[in-house]
Amino acid sequence: MARKHREAVISEIPPVTAGALLGPDALCRHFLASAAAGRYLDLFHLWELFKLFPDECKPVLASRQKAQEKARKKMQTATHLGLLGSAERVASDIDRAAGLPWRWLQEILEPMGPAIRQRPVVLAAMLRKDPSFEANVPEDPSDRWLAEAAALRESGQDVPEPIDTLLGRFADRLPATLATLSMTHDQYPDRVPALIDRVDLAANDIAAVLAWARDHGHGEQLVGRIAEEVRSAAAENRAEGLARWKSWTSRGVELEMPESLRVPTLEGLDLGRPESADLIKAMVDDGADLVPQEILDGVAGDNRMLGEKAYEAFVCAGFTDIHLPLVLEGNPMVRPETRCPACQAWTWVRPGHESRCPHDGMPLGSNPDQQAAEAVEAVDAAVSTIDPAGLQLDPPMPKPEVGERPSAPPPPSAPVDAPTTNDAVPAAPEQATPEQGQPEQGQPEQAQAPAEQQPAAPEGS
């Protein structure tokens, strides 16, 4: 096989196979060809193999200078990309490199001093590997630099003194996350209030940050920021301010309702929202001149979908003197089976209506099928408590004897004095029974008697 094809094939052979079947020299060729193909991390394995079998590896390395140059270029490309993106990978390569790979990595990083200073993770790795490396930290670090430095301290690794000093000087500019808050509270407690002012109130972990602030004595400061945000939103838009106030109070934050929301008017409110119904209920309880049914009729007359939402919200808010607006009765976009049987609210406008409906017709957490099953069980329980001995039942009807049933009358066309025999007058199918006897041949006068006056005698008489 030609050398070109052999180099292309050997990079695909598993290293265990190459080492076990072909020996250290074949495994050296495998690592070198694999690194030249793009998997530059195999250079670190190559150096470990070289330390164990130097005599077998030296001829291979001497005869494959072009493959070494390709592997070096692959490492250089990965390092450049890492300094612009995933700096943790470059720091890991620096900590792992030794021998020839480390000399190559030093040559790659030496002209990239400005880029290294902007990545504290790489700078720390260089100072750990080579304490004589010139550590030029930026005078005004960016937010990304501070975030990486804080993550480096949180990981438990050794933080060089220049990075630690700069981190402490600009601790109030750290991103206000749960990790940075804990780190700042332990290392720089006087900088925590400045960090609280940088908390993103719309972050996904705001509940955890709020709990941390309460536990560490900074809850009032954070709640004050929340109250100010709610007041500003309510001053610009009552519906938005009310929605934010409701969202924070549902999370357990005790906030006073802004003055602009306590004005007894419907202006600026979204009547389809449940918090608007709660606010109107509070206004009516305080004596505001508002009629809930008139509000619902007006909303439903303008927009039936908004009217359905408003009626459901009003019912769940606790209004007991309201009914479904006439405009919404027979609404074509609502199927009858999707309405609440207790209050006629459309249960599809907001999930979970069954658990909120305050009417007695539908207890909390129940549904019509469950109620029907419970009613059947109640009836069965009531029937089981009845004492059969105390009931007065009608006596059973006596069953007539089979022999007492009259025989069929003769047909009207037959003469009266004609003898009635089985051949002349057959019995009716529905009245003839096997037990009926036949008249005797020696008594014609009994055979000539009408059937009403002389019934047939049963067998065995």
Mean pLDDT for the stretch of residues 116-120 = 88
d(CA 418, CA 398): 37
d(CA 129, CA 410): 130
d(CA 461, CA 452): 19
Instruction: Using alpha carbons, select from 134, 118, 122 the residue that is nearest to residue 94.
Output: 122
The two structure tokens encoding residue 420? 């009635």
36-67, pLDDT tens digit by residue? 888 889 899 889 888 888 898 899 888 888 98
**H/E stretch holding 212:** helix 206-215
Least confidently predicted of 95-104, 250-259, 282-291, 386-395: 386-395
d(CA 354, CA 366): 6
Residues 6+ apart with CB under 8 A from 316: 274, 277, 345, 353, 356, 357, 358
> Tell me, what's the pLDDT at 188?
82
Amino acid at 277: A
> Tell me, what's the pLDDT at 460?
44
Backbone conformation region of residue 23, classed left if phi is above 0, alpha if psi is from -120 to 50, else beta: left
Percent of the chain with pLDDT over 90: 24
> Tell me, what's the pLDDT at 437?
43
> Tell me, what's the pLDDT at 422?
46
In 97-205, alpha helices (H) = 99-109, 113-117, 120-129, 143-154, 161-169, 178-187, 192-196
Strand-pair partners of 458: 436
d(CA 71, CA 41): 9
Instruction: Using alpha carbons, select from 320, 325, 317 the residue that is nearest to residue 342.
Output: 320
The two structure tokens encoding residue 302? 């303008």
d(CA 100, CA 395): 114
Q: What DSSP string describes 319-343?
A: --S----GGGTT-TTS-GGGB-TTT
* pLDDT above 90: residue 227: yes
Percent of the chain with pLDDT over 70: 75
Higher pLDDT: 107 or 450? It is 107
d(CA 209, CA 272): 32
Band (pLDDT 50/70/90 cuts) for residue 189 is confident
* pLDDT above 60: residue 461: no
Q: Does residue 436 sit in helix, strand or coil? A: strand
d(CA 329, CA 299): 14
The two structure tokens encoding residue 286? 């305080």
322-374, pLDDT tens digit by residue? 999 999 998 898 998 999 988 999 998 988 888 888 875 544 344 556 656 67
Q: Which residues of 69-105 are buried (b: 16+ CB within 10 A; e: fewer)?
A: ebbbebbbebbeebbeeebbbbbebbeebeeebbebb
d(CA 333, CA 195): 52
Least confidently predicted of 84-93, 147-156, 435-444: 435-444
| Angle, CA 274 vertex, CA 268 and CA 276 arms, to 5° | 25
Report the range out of 49-53, 173-177, 409-413 with the highest average pLDDT: 49-53
Amino acid at 318: G
